[in-house]
C-alpha cells in the first residue's frame, strides 16, 4: 500500500497554496489566542518592566493552573454538546474535604486522591442525570451546582481551613517549583497533554467529538452515547476535584464560599479558547489557552495601572469577540472548502 | 409461503415482525429472508414501512412482536452496534454524518484501525478512505470535513462507510436517490462484486429499473403488511407497481402542451468562484426546463445562487424583468420565485415542527391578518396541499420528523407550491417519492406550466428529465455545456454533454 495517498497530493498539486493555508486556518483558533496572549504580555512588559520578573512569571503560571485544569475538564464535556455548571461547587467542596482530611493529620497524597474521588463521584451523578434523564445539561448541572453548594454550606458551616492547619510540605508544594515553573503548573501541563493526546488518539476520545457533532448519527454509528457522556462528566468532575486539592495547596485558605461563581469563568475560558458550545469542535489546548488568557488579564490590568473593576467587562468583551471570530472563521473556511472541492473535482476529472 | 430453496439458511431474516409508533402500525406481521449471494429488493409506496423494517434489522428499532434471525437462530439487537458486530452494514435513507469530523473519520467512527496501545492510526484511516473512494470512483478529499457536502456526496460517503467493513449483509435504503446514472453504475458494480463474494444484499429504490438491474428477489409491502416475495425474473414493472399500489398506474410522465410565453427567468453570465462559471439561460412562462448533469456539476449551486441562498460573484439574474440581488432570498420570493431545495432535512423542513406549520412557513404573509397568525386559514391551506400531494399522515399536527422520507419530500413540495410562484425551481423534486405519487407530482408540474408558471427542474433521474422537460440544459464541471430541445433530447445526447464528451451547442 505505497500509493494509497495519491489522490490528495495530486489535488494539492492542482491548487498549491490552498491546502496548506486551509489547514492553518482550521487551526488558527489556537494560534489566534496564543498571538493575543503573547501580544498582551509583551505590551505589558514594555510598559512595566517588572511585570515578567521571575516572580511575575511564576505568579502568572500559578494563577492559571487551577483554571486550566477545570477548563480542560469542562472542554471535554462541552465537546460532547453538554456543559457542567457544577464545577465551582465541586472545587469548593473537594478543597474543603482535602483540607479537613489534612487537618486531621492525613497523608497529603491521599488527600489529593480523596479530592479527585469526590469530584469524580459528583461527575458520575451529573453524567448519570444528563445521559439517562433526557434533561438538558444546563438545567441538570445548574441543579447540582446549588445542591453541592448547599451540602457544602451545611457541612462546613462557618468553619475555615487555613494554611496553618496544613502540613508544611503540602503548602510548599503549592508554592515552589523548578526555577520559574511551579510544580502545580507542571502537573497541570501533564494532565493537559494527556487529555489532548487521549482525545486525539483514542477511539473513545474521537467518539466524544462524534457525538457532540451529531448525537443522532452517533447513535446510528453504534457509539455508546451514554457511556461516553458519563465518562466525560466523570473526567470533568475528577479534574475539578484535583483543582480543588491544588487550590488548597496554593491558597491554603478554604471556606464554604470557595469556588463560588467559578463556573462562569471556566465556561468563558473554554469558549474563548474556541471550543464550540454546539459541540464537536475545539481542543483542550484551546481551552487551556483561553484560561491562560483570562487569568493573564487579571494580572495585566493592575500592573499597567488599570483598576481591576474593569476585569469582568473585559472578560465579557473577549467572550463576544471570540464568538464573532469563530463565526467569521467558519464562513471563511466554508468558502475555502468549496473552492478546494471544486478544484479536487476538476483536477481528477480533467 | 412456498420456499423455493428450502436447504439454505438465510443469513438474516425477520419472522412475523410487527412494529407500531403510537397509533401508526408501521409493520404488521412481516417476514423476510436474506440469503448469501442474493440481492433482495424491498418495494412499497411511501410510508409502507420499508425504512422501519430496515431499522428493525439494524437494531435501531426493537420489534413489538416477532423475531430477528441470524443464521437461523433468534437474536436480539440491543442497538446498532450489535447489528454491526454481527456483520450487518446499513445505509440509512437520510445521510447521518458528523459535520465537524473529516470524511475519513466519518467513515471509520468507532472502528478506526489502531496501532500500538490502542491508539487510532490516523494515517491508515485516511489511506483506507482513499482506497474506498478509488474503488467507488469518488473524488472527495478524505481530509475535508463533512459539513456542507451535497446530498449526493453525503450519500457517497454513506456508501463508502457501508462498504468499509466486510459486511455479510449489506442493507441500502434508497442509496441512489440523489445519484446520476454513472455513479449508480459504479455502485452497482461494487455491490455485484460483493454479492458474488457471498454477501446478502437488501436494496430499496423507487426507481424500479434499478430494482430490476440489481436484484434477484423482491418483497413488496403495502401499508405495513407483507404482500409478496418472489423472484424478479419474469416480473414486469407493471406487476411490481400493481403489488405496491394495488391498482394499475396512470402514465408516469403526463406531459401537457402549454403555450410558451415571455421570458420569466433570465440568468446571464452567472459565476460563483470555484463552483460554476459563466452560466446563462432563460426559462419562459409555460415552459419546463430540465437541468441535467453529473453529481457535482454545479446544478443545485446555480439554483441556490439564483434564489439568493448563496451569493454569486458576477453576472445577473432577473424574474420578469425585475433584477434579483445576490444573497437576498426574500427579494426573490417577493419577485415570485420559489425553490424546492434538495436537502429536505437541512434546508427544506423544520423537523420538529408540525406538518401544518411547515407548510405554512412560506405563507405567513398570505394567511396572517393584521400581523396575527390565522390558524383557520393556515389549517385549510395545509390540508389542501397535503391532500393534493397525497401526504400520508395521521394528523396534521404530527411532527414532520416522524413522517417517512417520501412523505417529508411531499411536505417540502407542498410548502413551496402553496406560494403560487411565477417561477418555480425544483431540485430533485421526486427524491424518495414512490412511483404513484411521482406521476402525481409530474402532473402537478405539468399543470403549473400550463397555467403559465416557468419551471426549472433539476433531477438526477434522467428518464424524469426526458419525460417532462421541453428543453434540457446540461452542466459539466460548473459550465453549461448543452441546451437540447425536447425532440433531440435522448439519453445519449444528454449523457454525452454531461460527461463532457460532446460540446453540442444547440
Ligand atoms: N419515529 C416515528 N414515529 C412515528 N411514526 C413513525 C416513525 N417512523 C416511522 N413512522 C411511521 O411509520 C410509517 C412507515 O414509515 P417508513 O419510514 O418505514 O416508510 P417507508 O416505506 O420507508 O417510506 P418512504 O418510501 O417514504 O421512505 C409511516 O406512516 C411513518 O409516518
Ligand atoms: Mg423510507
Domains of chain A from N-terminus onward: 22-343 (1.10.3470)
For Cα atoms A135, A137, A138, give the angle at the middle one, nearest 5 degrees.
Answer: 110
Q: Which of B99, B127, B148 faces A213 most closely, judged by CB atoms?
A: B99
CA distance A165 to A146: 28
What mean pLDDT is predicted for residues A33-56? 85
Residue A18 confidence class, pLDDT cut points 50, 70, 90? very low
What mean pLDDT is predicted for residues B366-387? 81
Class of domain B12-97+149-245: alpha beta
DSSP B183-229: HHHHHHHHHHHHHHTT-EEEEE-S-HHHHHHH-SEEEEEETTEEEEE
C-alpha grid cell, residue B206: 423507487
Instruction: Provide φ and ψ at B370, rounded to 5°.
Output: 55, 40
Q: Which of B80, B112, B145 faces A222 most closely, judged by CB atoms?
A: B80
Say whether pLDDT at A7 is over 50. Answer: no
pLDDT tens digit sequence for B393-421: 888 888 998 998 889 988 998 988 888 89
What was the pLDDT predicted at A339?
66
A348 shares contact with chain B (CB less than 8 Å): yes
Dihedral of CA B328/B331/B335/B340: which sign? Answer: positive
What was the pLDDT predicted at A13?
36
In 3D space, the residue among A62, A25, A64, A26 whose CA is nearest the CA of residue A269 turns out to be: A64
Mutate to test the interface with A, among B61, B97, B100, B171 (most CBs of A within 10 A): B100
In sequence order, the 6+-apart residues with CB closer than 8 A to the CB of B269 are B278, B279, B280, B314, B315, B316
What mean pLDDT is predicted for residues A116-127? 97
Chain B closest CA to A205's CA: distance in Å? 10
Taking only Cα atoms into account, the Rg of chain B, rounded to an integer number of angstroms, comes to 23
CA distance A313 to B368: 43
pLDDT tens digit sequence for B239-272: 888 888 877 666 778 778 878 889 999 999 999 9
Taking only Cα atoms into account, the Rg of chain A, rounded to an integer number of angstroms, comes to 22
CA distance B93 to B47: 13
Say whether pLDDT at A12 is over 50. Answer: no
Place of cell 489566542: A33
**B 269-308: CB under 8 A from A:** 273-275, 296
Say whether pLDDT at A258 is over 50. Answer: yes
Chain A closest CA to B376's CA: distance in Å? 34
Label the pairing between strands B454-458 and A177-178: unpaired
Please measure the distance between the N-terminal and C-terminal CA atoms of chain A and give it in whole angstroms. 25
Say whether pLDDT at B441 is over 90. Answer: no
pLDDT tens digit sequence for A242-251: 999 999 999 9
pLDDT tens digit sequence for B54-79: 999 999 999 999 999 999 999 999 99
pLDDT tens digit sequence for B29-46: 999 999 999 999 999 999
Outline where DSSP puts E strands in B302-374.
Answer: 314-319, 322-323, 337-340
Given the CA of residue B22, which atom of ligand 1 is nearest to it?
4
C-alpha grid cell, residue B212: 430490476
B92 shares contact with chain A (CB less than 8 Å): yes
Q: Is B67 in the pocket of ligand 1 (CB under 6 A)?
A: no
Of B14, B62, B403, best ligand 1 pocket probe by most atoms within 8 Å of the beta carbon: B403
CA distance A215 to A81: 9
Given the CA of residue B53, which atom of ligand 1 is nearest to it?
18
What mean pLDDT is predicted for residues B107-128? 92
Q: Are the beta carbons of B141 and A341 separated by less than 8 Å? A: yes
Of the listed ranges A179-188, A216-225, A307-316, B104-113, the one predicted with least confidence: A307-316
pTM summary value: 0.84
pLDDT tens digit sequence for B201-234: 999 999 999 999 999 999 999 989 999 999 999 8
Say whether pLDDT at B348 is over 50. Answer: yes
CA distance B33 to A165: 74
Ligand closest to Cα of B404 equals: 1
Calculate the average pLDDT of chain B: 89
Q: Is B93 in the pocket of ligand 1 (CB under 6 A)?
A: yes
What was the pLDDT predicted at B258?
79
CA distance B80 to B72: 20
Residue A20 confidence class, pLDDT cut points 50, 70, 90? low
Q: Is A318 left (phi over 0), alpha (psi -120 to 50) or beta?
A: alpha
**Fold matches, B12-97+149-245 and B251-336+421-506:** yes
What was the pLDDT predicted at B97?
94
C-alpha grid cell, residue B237: 414493472
Give percent of chain B with pLDDT exceeding 90: 54
Of B404, B431, B435, best ligand 1 pocket probe by most atoms within 8 Å of the beta carbon: B404
Label the pairing between strands B423-427 and B454-458: parallel
pLDDT tens digit sequence for A66-89: 999 999 999 999 999 999 999 999
Nearest-CA residue for ligand 1 atom 18 is B49
Q: Are the beta carbons of B141 and A339 separated by less than 8 Å? A: no
Calculate the average pLDDT of chain A: 85
What mean pLDDT is predicted for residues B326-352? 87
What was the pLDDT predicted at A2?
35
Dihedral of CA A312/A317/A320/A321: which sign? Answer: negative
Of the listed ranges A46-50, A128-132, B120-124, B212-216, the one predicted with least confidence: A46-50
Say whether pLDDT at B2 is over 50. Answer: no
Nearest-CA residue for ligand 1 atom 7 is B402
What was the pLDDT predicted at B470?
94
What mean pLDDT is predicted for residues A86-112? 95
Task: Give how far Cα A41 sits from Cα of A55, A112, A291, A308, B356, Å.
Answer: 15, 33, 15, 17, 57
Q: Is B406 in the pocket of ligand 1 (CB under 6 A)?
A: yes
- B251-336+421-506 maps to CATH 3.40.50.300: yes
B312, B326 in Cβ contact below 8 A?
A: yes
CA distance B506 to B485: 8
Mutate to test the interface with B, among A220, A223, A343 (most CBs of B within 10 A): A220
Beta-ladder partners of B424: B338, B455
Q: Are the beta carbons of A4 and B133 separated by less than 8 Å? A: no
What was the pLDDT predicted at B506?
41
Q: Is B353 left (phi over 0), alpha (psi -120 to 50) or beta?
A: beta
A202, B120 in Cβ contact below 8 A?
A: yes
Beta-ladder partners of A253: none
What was the pLDDT predicted at A325?
74
Q: Where in chain B are the domains? A: 12-97+149-245, 251-336+421-506, 346-419
Q: Map residue A160 onto helix, strand or coil.
A: coil
Q: What is the DSSP letter of B68?
A: E
C-alpha grid cell, residue B151: 446530498
B137 shares contact with chain A (CB less than 8 Å): no
Beta-ladder partners of B173: B204
What was the pLDDT predicted at B123?
93
A155, A31 in Cβ contact below 8 A?
A: no
Task: Give how far Cα A226 sits from Cα of A177, A275, B490, Å.
Answer: 40, 21, 54
Q: Which long-range contacts (CB under 8 A, 24 or more apart) does A128-134 make?
A: A128/A230, A130/A82, A130/A229, A130/A233, A131/A225, A131/A226, A131/A229, A131/A230, A132/A226
What was the pLDDT predicted at B373?
76
A202 shares contact with chain B (CB less than 8 Å): yes
Dihedral of CA A17/A23/A29/A35: which sign? Answer: negative
Beta-ladder partners of A60: none
Label the pairing between strands B322-323 and B337-340: unpaired
What number of H helices and E strands is found in chain B?
17, 20
The Cβ of residue A255 has, within 10 Å, a number of other Cβ atoms equal to 18
pLDDT tens digit sequence for B457-505: 999 889 999 999 999 999 998 999 999 999 999 988 998 898 877 654 4
Q: Is B21 in the pocket of ligand 1 (CB under 6 A)?
A: yes
Residue A21 confidence class, pLDDT cut points 50, 70, 90? low
How close is the Cα of B243 to the center of ligand 1, in Å? 19
Given the CA of residue B408, which atom of ligand 1 is nearest to it?
26
How close is the Cα of A251 to the center of ligand 1, in Å? 60
Give percent of chain A with pLDDT exceeding 90: 54
Instruction: Provide φ and ψ at A291, rounded to 5°.
Output: -65, -45
pLDDT tens digit sequence for B149-202: 888 889 899 999 998 988 899 999 999 988 888 889 989 998 999 999 999 999
CA distance B94 to B405: 8
B403, B431 in Cβ contact below 8 A?
A: no
A334 shares contact with chain B (CB less than 8 Å): yes
ipTM of the complex: 0.84
Q: Closest-CA residue in chain B for A278?
A: B100
Q: Are the beta carbons of B477 and A217 separated by less than 8 Å? A: no
CA distance B186 to A39: 54
CA distance B438 to A70: 57
Q: Is B394 in the pocket of ligand 1 (CB under 6 A)?
A: no
Amino acid at each position: 500500500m505505497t500509493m494509497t495517498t495519491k489522490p490528495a497530493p495530486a489535488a494539492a498539486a492542482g491548487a498549491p497554496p490552498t491546502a496548506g493555508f486551509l489547514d492553518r486556518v482550521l487551526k488558527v483558533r489556537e494560534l489566534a489566542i496564543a498571538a493575543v496572549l503573547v501580544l498582551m504580555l509583551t505590551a505589558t512588559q514594555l510598559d512595566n518592566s517588572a511585570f515578567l520578573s521571575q516572580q511575575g512569571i511564576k505568579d502568572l503560571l500559578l494563577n492559571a493552573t487551577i483554571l486550566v485544569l477545570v477548563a480542560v475538564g469542562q472542554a471535554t464535556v462541552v465537546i460532547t454538546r453538554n456543559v457542567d455548571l457544577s464545577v465551582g461547587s465541586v472545587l469548593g467542596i473537594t478543597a474543603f474535604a482535602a483540607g479537613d482530611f489534612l487537618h486531621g493529620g492525613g497523608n497529603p497524597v491521599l488527600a489529593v486522591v480523596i479530592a479527585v474521588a469526590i469530584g469524580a463521584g459528583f461527575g458520575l451523578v451529573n453524567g448519570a442525570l444528563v445521559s439517562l434523564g433526557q434533561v438538558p445539561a444546563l438545567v441538570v448541572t445548574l441543579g447540582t451546582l446549588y445542591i453541592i453548594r448547599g451540602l457544602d454550606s451545611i457541612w462546613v458551616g462557618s468553619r475555615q481551613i487555613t494554611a496553618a492547619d496544613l502540613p508544611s510540605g503540602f503548602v510548599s508544594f503549592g508554592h515552589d517549583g523548578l526555577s520559574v515553573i511551579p510544580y502545580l503548573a507542571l502537573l497541570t501541563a501533564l494532565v493537559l497533554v494527556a487529555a489532548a493526546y487521549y482525545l486525539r488518539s483514542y477511539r473513545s476520545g474521537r467518539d466524544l467529538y462524534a457525538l457532540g457533532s451529531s448525537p443522532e448519527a452517533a447513535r446510528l454509528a453504534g457509539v455508546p452515547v451514554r457511556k461516553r457522556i458519563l465518562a466525560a462528566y466523570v473526567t470533568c468532575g475528577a479534574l475539578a476535584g484535583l483543582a480543588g486539592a491544588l487550590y488548597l495547596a496554593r491558597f491554603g485558605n478554604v471556606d464554604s464560599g470557595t469556588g463560588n461563581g467559578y463556573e462562569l469563568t471556566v465556561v468563558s475560558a473554554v469558549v474563548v479558547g474556541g471550543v464550540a458550545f454546539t459541540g464537536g469542535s475545539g481542543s483542550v489546548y484551546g481551552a487551556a489557552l483561553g484560561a491562560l488568557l483570562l487569568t493573564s488579564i487579571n494580572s495585566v490590568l493592575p500592573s499597567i495601572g488599570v483598576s481591576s473593576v474593569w476585569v469582568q467587562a473585559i472578560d465579557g468583551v473577549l467572550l463576544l469577540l471570540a464568538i464573532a471570530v469563530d463565526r467569521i472563521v467558519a464562513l471563511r473556511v466554508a468558502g475555502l472548502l468549496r473552492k478546494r472541492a471544486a478544484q479536487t473535482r476538476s483536477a481528477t476529472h480533467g | 409461503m412456498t420456499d423455493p430453496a428450502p436447504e439454505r439458511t438465510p443469513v438474516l431474516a425477520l419472522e412475523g415482525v410487527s412494529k407500531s409508533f403510537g397509533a401508526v402500525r408501521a409493520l404488521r406481521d412481516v417476514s423476510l429472508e436474506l440469503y448469501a449471494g442474493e440481492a433482495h429488493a424491498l418495494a412499497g409506496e411511501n410510508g409502507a414501512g420499508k425504512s422501519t423494517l430496515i431499522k428493525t434489522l439494524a437494531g435501531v428499532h426493537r420489534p413489538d412482536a416477532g423475531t430477528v434471525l441470524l443464521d437461523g437462530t433468534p437474536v436480539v439487537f440491543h442497538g446498532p452496534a450489535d447489528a454491526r458486530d454481527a456483520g450487518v452494514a446499513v445505509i440509512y435513507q437520510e445521510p447521518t454524518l458528523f459535520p465537524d469530523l473529516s470524511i475519513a473519520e466519518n467513515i471509520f467512527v468507532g472502528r478506526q484501525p489502531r496501532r500500538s496501545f490502542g491508539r487510532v492510526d490516523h494515517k491508515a484511516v485516511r489511506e483506507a478512505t482513499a482506497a474506498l473512494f478509488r474503488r467507488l470512483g469518488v473524488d472527495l478529499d478524505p481530509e475535508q470535513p463533512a459539513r456542507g457536502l451535497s446530498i449526493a456526496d453525503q450519500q457517497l460517503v454513506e456508501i463508502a462507510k457501508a462498504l468499509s467493513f466486510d459486511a455479510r449483509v449489506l442493507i441500502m435504503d434508497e442509496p441512489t436517490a440523489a445519484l446520476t446514472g454513472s455513479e449508480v453504475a459504479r455502485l452497482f458494480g461494487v455491490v455485484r462484486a460483493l454479492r458474488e463474494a457471498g454477501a446478502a444484499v437488501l436494496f430499496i429504490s423507487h426507481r424500479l429499473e434499478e430494482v430490476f438491474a440489481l436484484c434477484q428477489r423482491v418483497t413488496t409491502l403495502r401499508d405495513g403488511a407483507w404482500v409478496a416475495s418472489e423472484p424478479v425474473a419474469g416480473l414486469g414493472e407493471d406487476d411490481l407497481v400493481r403489488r405496491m399500489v394495488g391498482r394499475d398506474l396512470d402514465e408516469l410522465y403526463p406531459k401537457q402542451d402549454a403555450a410558451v410565453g415571455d421570458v420569466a427567468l433570465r440568468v446571464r453570465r452567472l459565476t460563483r468562484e470555484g463552483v460554476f462559471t459563466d452560466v446563462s439561460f432563460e426559462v419562459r412562462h409555460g415552459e419546463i426546463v430540465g437541468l441535467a448533469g453529473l453529481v457535482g456539476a454545479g446544478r443545485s449551486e446555480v439554483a441556490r445562487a439564483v434564489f439568493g441562498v448563496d451569493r454569486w460573484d458576477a453576472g445577473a439574474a432577473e424574474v420578469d424583468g425585475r433584477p434579483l440581488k445576490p444573497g437576498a432570498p426574500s427579494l426573490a420570493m417577493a419577485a415570485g420565485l420559489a425553490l424546492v431545495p434538495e436537502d429536505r432535512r437541512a434546508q427544506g423542513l423544520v423537523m420538529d415542527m408540525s406538518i401544518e406549520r411547515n407548510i405554512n412557513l412560506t405563507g405567513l404573509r398570505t394567511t396572517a391578518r393584521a400581523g396575527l397568525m390565522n390558524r383557520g386559514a393556515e389549517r385549510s391551506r395545509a390540508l389542501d396541499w397535503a391532500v393534493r400531494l397525497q401526504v400520508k399522515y395521521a394528523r396534521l399536527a404530527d411532527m414532520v420528523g416522524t413522517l417517512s422520507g417520501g412523505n417529508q419530500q411531499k411536505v417540502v413540495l407542498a410548502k413551496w407550491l402553496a406560494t403560487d410562484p411565477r417561477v418555480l425551481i425544483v431540485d430533485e423534486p421526486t427524491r424518495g417519492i414512490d412511483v404513484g405519487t411521482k406521476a402525481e407530482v409530474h402532473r402537478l408540474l405539468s399543470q403549473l406550466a400550463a397555467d403559465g408558471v416557468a419551471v426549472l427542474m433539476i433531477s438526477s433521474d434522467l428518464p424524469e428529465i426526458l419525460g417532462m422537460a421541453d428543453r434540457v440544459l446540461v452542466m459539466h464541471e460548473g459550465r453549461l455545456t448543452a441546451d437540447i430541445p425536447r425532440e433531440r433530447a435522448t439519453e445519449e445526447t444528454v449523457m454525452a454533454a454531461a460527461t463532457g464528451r460532446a460540446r453540442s451547442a444547440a
